[in-house]
Homo-oligomer: A and B are copies of this chain.
Amino acid sequence: MLKLRRIGVDTYRENVAYLSRDCPLYRAEKFQGLAKIEVSKNGRSILAVLNIVDDLQLLPRDELGLSEQAFHQLGLPEGETVTVAQAAPPASRDAIRAKVLGRVLSAEEYEAIIRDIAANRYSKMEIAAFLIASASFLTTDEVLSLTRAMAAVGNRLTWPDRPIVDKHCIGGIPGNRTSMIVVPIVAAHGVTIPKTSSRAITSPAGTADTMEALARVDVDPDEMRDIVSRTRGCIVWGGRANLSPADDVLISVERPLGIDTREQMVASILSKKLAAGSTHLIVDIPVGPSSKIRSHLEAARLRKLFEFVGDQTGLTLEVQITDGRQPVGYGVGPVLEARDVMRVLENSPSAPADLRQRALLLAGRILEFDPRLRGGRGHERARELLDTGAAARAMSRIVEAQGPSPESYALGTRTRDLSADRDGVVESVDCYRIARIARLAGAPADKGAGIDLFKKVGDPVQKGEPLYRVHAAHPTDFRFATEMAASDSGYRVAAAA
């Protein structure tokens, strides 16, 4: 028996076990090159990828180390004795192999796969194999099975009333922070909209990151229910609710691999909405040359897939295709985006018109789920709630109910302006490039980092006039971001006609 030791290493959603090469009980090399090992004690067990330790100061010979996630999953105290064996393949292994060979899988097979993924029984390379095999071919019924399986494996939120409305944007457009305007408008109308959002993984800000510049977002489901019972709405980080743990694992592989198929996207989004207890959903699909979806044909296909899975799972779902040709609003990065949101809610003259219009469009469609507003009256009602300050007051109640953010955040003080190199008109702004520069500047980890846009598509500019300002907190980030911006600003300026 080996003594259990916690190894303070975060292996990012993969279980890793550490065993000394000189372990007197097990020949560590015997396990190397195999899929995984099983670490057990009295019927409790976890699977983990093995790392062999050659340094006795890191791990004594007679101990078995577990990375943070694996240690917590096993749930035993340090010093407990455990045994180690070659892991038997997870129950769903044959189904994954069948998918690799191109077979269409059943609902039961997806349930088994998703259960094993959520229980961290697969290594990242095994998950990559499943994702790549799925990326090459999934039937619509498989997307449905995958969605249901993913929704079933996590927590499910329940709400005392109906409808429970929600909105979701498939992402890719910097500054597109409509949720933070839509939620207070809808809540002000008296409809329940408990919004759970993600933090950014590869973008400069997620809604949760931006809301955190204004209020606490790390809220558990009980608190969330309490907040919503008082205010009709919330804007919180979804991570605490553990709505789709399998999706969290899948994302940890999809992102580094850059896999972003329609099928995975629909299953990922709708599984979380189902688990969150939503009954009505608007999906925003921005289309543009540097957006995730580049053509209207692609958008139409994605829309049909959303509608199919929505219908089959009993979700009232509508898709709104929007203009995704440039960033929305002026700010990119949490603090700057929160500023834009508040300007819209406060009807400030400096509020970005495009952000306001998009938020009203989406809020209007949600309000039309209310039978009294059917037939196009939703948009008018949304504008009324915004213009009268009812939405701003709803936002204040939500911010107050969620409580203050644990830290306060200020705009990054290292700044540099990027200027036009000719006279003309802004022809295009590359969403991907702008996101990349804002991220290099430190967003979202540094909430005050990012980009403040001064010009949008169609605006006339003069040579030397600033196009945008880079904000950063740390000198290295500032250097990387400004270097990248200098090499290609992401703006194209055409000579005026």
Write the residues of chain A forming the contact surface with B, with a CB cutoff of 8 angstroms: 7-12, 18, 21, 25-27, 29-30, 32-36, 50-55, 57-58, 67-68, 85-86, 97, 100, 102, 123-129, 131-133, 135-136, 201-202, 251-253, 255-259, 440, 442, 445-446, 476, 480
A257 cross-chain contacts in B, Cβ below 8 A: 35, 125-126, 129
Q: What is the CB-to-nearest-CB distance from A126 to chain B, in angstroms, rounded to a whole number?
A: 6
Complex Cα spacing A58 to B252, Å: 24
B55 touches A125 (CB 8 A): no
A33 touches which of B12, B18, B33, B125 (Cβ 8 Å): B12
Give Cα A124 to B126, complex, Å: 9
- B7, B54, B100, B255: which contacts A55 (Cβ < 8 A)? B7
Looking at A34, A57, A251, A258, which has the most chain B CB atoms within 10 Å of its CB? Answer: A258
Q: How far is A440 from B86 in the complex, measured between Cα atoms in Å? A: 9
| Contact between chains at B35 and A256 (CB < 8 Å) | yes
Contact across chains for B446 and A8 when beta carbons are under 8 A apart: no
Most chain B CB neighbours (cut-off 10 Å) among A9, A68, A201, A253? A9
Contacts A68-B54, A129-B132: A97 and B33 contacting too (C-beta < 8 A)? Answer: no
For the complex with contacts A8-B53, A58-B58, 5 further pairs of A-B residues with Cβ separation under 8 Å are A8-B58, A10-B51, A34-B256, A54-B68, A124-B124
Contact of A32 among B12, B100, B133 (CB under 8 A): B12
Task: List 20 interface pairs A-B (beta carbons < 8 Å), by A numbering.
Answer: A9-B18, A9-B52, A9-B54, A10-B21, A12-B52, A25-B476, A30-B442, A30-B445, A33-B251, A35-B257, A97-B258, A100-B136, A102-B136, A123-B256, A125-B127, A125-B256, A129-B131, A129-B257, A129-B259, A132-B132
Residues of chain B contacted by A51 (CB below 8 angstroms)? 9-12, 67
Whether B33 lies near A255 (C-beta < 8 A) is yes
Please name the residue on chain B nearest to A12 by beta carbon.
B32
- By a CB distance below 8 angstroms, the chain B residues around A67 are 51
**CA distance in complex: A9, B32 (Å):** 13
Select the residue from A52, A129, A259 with max chain B CB neighbours within 10 A.
A129
Bound Cα distance A68, B30 (Å): 19
| Residues of chain B with a CB closer than 8 A to A58's CB | 7-9, 58
- Inter-chain CA distance A85–B102, complex, in Å, is 38
Q: How far is the CB of A22 from chain B (nearest CB, A)?
A: 11
Given A10-B54, A125-B125, also A252-B33 (CB < 8 A): yes
A123 to B12, CA, bound (A): 14
Residues of B within 8 A of A8 (CB): 53-55, 57-58
* B33 and A202 form a contact (CB under 8 A): yes
- Report A390 CB to chain B, min CB distance, Å: 38
- Asked if A446 contacts B68 (CB within 8 A), the reply is no
Closest Cβ of chain B to A82, distance in Å, is: 13
Q: Is the CB of B132 within 8 A of A202?
A: no
| Nearest CB of chain B from residue A480's CB, rounded to whole Å | 7
A252: chain B residues at CB < 8 Å are: 33
* Chain B hits for A255, CB < 8 A: 33-34
Complex CA gap A246/B258 in Å reads: 23
Chain B hits for A480, CB < 8 A = 85
Distance between Cα atoms of A100 and B54 in the complex (Å): 37
Closest to A473 in B: B27
Distance in Å: Cβ of A397 to nearest Cβ of chain B: 31
Q: Could you tell me the distance in whole angstroms from the C-beta of A410 to the nearest C-beta in chain B?
A: 17
Q: Are B126's CB and A9's CB within 8 A?
A: no
Top 10 nearest A-B pairs by Cβ distance?
A8-B55, A125-B128, A128-B128, A35-B256, A8-B54, A10-B52, A132-B132, A124-B125, A33-B201, A27-B445
